[in-house]
Amino acid sequence: MKKYVLLIGFAVFCLLVFLPAKPVLANPPTAEMEIIRLEVLNGVRDGENTFDARRTVSGVSEPGARVTISVFVRNAEGEFFERSGYVVYVGSSGFFSQAINLSLGENVVVIRGTMEDRRPRTFMVTVNRMDRAIKSELESYVLPIAG
CATH code of 45's domain:
2.60.40.10
pTM: 0.71
**Is residue 34 one of the residues assigned to a domain?**
yes
- Please enumerate in sequence order all residues whose Cβ is within 8 A of that of 33, keeping only pairs 6 or more positions apart, or say none: 117, 118, 119
Tell me which residue range forms the domain holding 65.
Answer: 2-20+28-132
**Is residue 125 one of the residues assigned to a domain?**
yes
**Is residue 73 one of the residues assigned to a domain?**
yes
What's the pLDDT tens digit per position in 48-99? 999 999 999 999 999 999 999 999 999 989 999 999 999 999 999 999 999 9
**Is residue 96 one of the residues assigned to a domain?**
yes
> Is a pLDDT exceeding 80 seen at residue 124?
yes
Better-scored residue on pLDDT, 147 or 121? 121
**Is residue 9 one of the residues assigned to a domain?**
yes
**Is residue 144 one of the residues assigned to a domain?**
no
- Domain count of the fold of the chain: 1
**Is residue 14 one of the residues assigned to a domain?**
yes
**Is residue 103 one of the residues assigned to a domain?**
yes
Bridge partners for 119 per DSSP: 35
